[in-house]
Structure 1
Amino acid sequence: MYSAPFDKCGIYGFCGANSICSSRRADACKCLKGFISKSQESKNCVRESSLDCQKGDGFTKLVGVKVPDLLKFQLNESLNLKQCEAECLKNCSCTAYVNMKVSEGRTSCVMWFGDLFDISEVSDMYRNEVVFIRLSASGLGLTHDSRKKNRLMAILVVSIISSATILGLISFIIWKKWKKRDDLLHLTRLESGEDEREVPLFHFSTIEIATNYFSFGNVIGEGGFGPVYKGNLPTGQQIAVKRLSKDSGQGVEQFRNEVVLIAKLQHKNLVGLLGCCIQGNERMLIYEFMPKRSLDYFIFDHKKRAQLSWRNRLDIVLGITRGLLYLHQDSKLPVIHRDLKASNILLDSNLTPKISDFGLARIFCGNDVETKTSRVVGTFGYMAPEYAIDGTFSAKSDVFSFGVLLLEIVSGKKNRGYSHPDHLHNLLGHAWLLWNEDRGLEVMDTILEETCVRSEVLRFIHVGLLCVQECPEDRPTMSSVLLKLTNEEATLPRPKAPGFFVQRNPYDNFSSTTVTTDVTISILEAR
């Protein structure tokens, strides 16, 4: 028997309201401090004692968790931690707040109202935000003696933490080395068929029959990994099969990388891995079938792009944002995708976007912020300048790719190969020139004029330009991007010049074909 997702806490709202989910406990769901179970039949939790603004409500800290879902919230970018607490206390409906980091040296106050949903535990080292949950004075147990005791306890805790810092650093280094060995062991077991419990293995003959013996008529796509086939399992379930080509530029390393990563990641905006097939020289990945194919199939086609209204495109952008935010911040291990582009966004029957193709993705361990490589892999037109030129990549590299994708979705034009009669800039440069002349709406796909909300279009273009700024430090984090896209009252800074803001040689080849590269820093070799 096999079930997915592997982590129950990956299921949205699994524990109901005002509770926290932990995959480390047999009973995954537990009410937050100051809350009790509503009933035996319900997972929802309610307050033990009601809030009373007049009798000194307070807050309890919640660390090492994914912040609650942004259902009813308010953003204020001008308040610090103390001011955020005071502002929340002023409003009797405010139930929690967090001082969220949005960029280097800048934080924003986010306040929640009503019940809190989708809180789950993650390791402290992957989360910087502390969530403050509001409780009544009786719920906190605040008396004079208890406050005095708490102060003494705080002094003791600080002393213990200070003396244990060196031991903690040593333990972390040991854990990091152990984790690398564990991943290597997992890959070895996967190829020998010993790890079926985590990644289901399909027999080659099953996939052969499902794809009509890999017939040409069943091919639905082609990538750097190899051909993608549509198939039907004996159960009637439709699948998509990525088969590693013998001439593939990616190879076994990327295959292993994708299997290990996708098996650990569960989110509604990430493509679902059903299993894999390893037999002889055959390497195949079996995914859920996406009937609407990929995003580029629609937005870059003169006729099909009319099928995506502004509301469709808005929902697609927000879905991609949430998926990328999960990779960077909410998954157990931070992941940098490194190849985010329109053809790697798949659409299900409801046009829900799902990020795919994790063959080039990298896991960031510990407190790593960025890293450097001598081999640049990705797609021209989506790569951030610091990555394409110096080989330096981070979460901000994915933010740049997202900005390119956002502007392509709004405009219906490709960044690579874009041409204009008045200049030789790419799509990013063209959008920035129009923005500086207060003509930002001219970037919009003309087919959206009847369905769009102009203020939303302008805000999306504005956020896209913030994401593609040349310096990584100027680009927002994905948590900040989500807040800016969904909050009409958010104040957006003026964008600086985008990366690669130089006019191209008029004799350059502006082919519309997307080329995936596998190159070194010194010599460019297109793959």
Structure 2
Amino acid sequence: MTLKQCEAECLKNCSCMAYSNSDIRKGGSGCLIWFGDLIDIREFTGDAATDIYIRMSASELGLDRKKEEDLDLPLFDLAIVASATNNFSKANMIGKGGFGPVYKGILSTGQEIAVKRLSNNSGQGLQEFKNKAWLLWTEDKALELMDQCLKDSCVESQVLRCIQVGLLCVQKCSADRPTMSSVVFMLGNEEAVLPQPKQPGFFVDSSSDGNGGRCQTENEVTVTRLEAR
């Protein structure tokens, strides 16, 4: 009996605690199965040793694994942020960069926050952020999208997986985009192999001519308008 057959026999019985494939005859092999406590076990080394496979519950297998905490990012309304920073008053401004000023504030819970308010000419609007996300992905620098303050409180592989799934959902060709059921599967199964995302439909790139012009890709989003007869 092979090891695979021995495993199958053990899985058929809920009382099976362990199994092993042992050489019980010259040139042959047999299946040893334990029910209840593991008895008649001896430790051998070298060629005389035989592996024993112990059946355990999934909860027991996860005891020694590093527990990963779910990362819950809060979202705040503009009114809450404005109230926390005294309506972005100059007294609360703690710095100013190329993208806009940074304000300190205190939420109603007492938590201190820092808020960057983008200026109108910062060049960091929604369109620019989308382009930046794709460029960082193609340059293998997608983790730069994550706030460095979160680096020690999240799992990098999960962040990269979320970014990759997000880019798959906004590919230029709608036929390439995954369905919602596929999205749920990809996010919930870390062992699932994800396809490489193609260029998104919103990507804007600079042209190579000297006029500084821009070429834009077409956003293939359709709108259906219902009219009564």
Q: Which structure has the highest helix share of the two? A: 1
Which of the pair has the greater relative contact order for Cα pairs under 8 Å at 6+ separation?
1
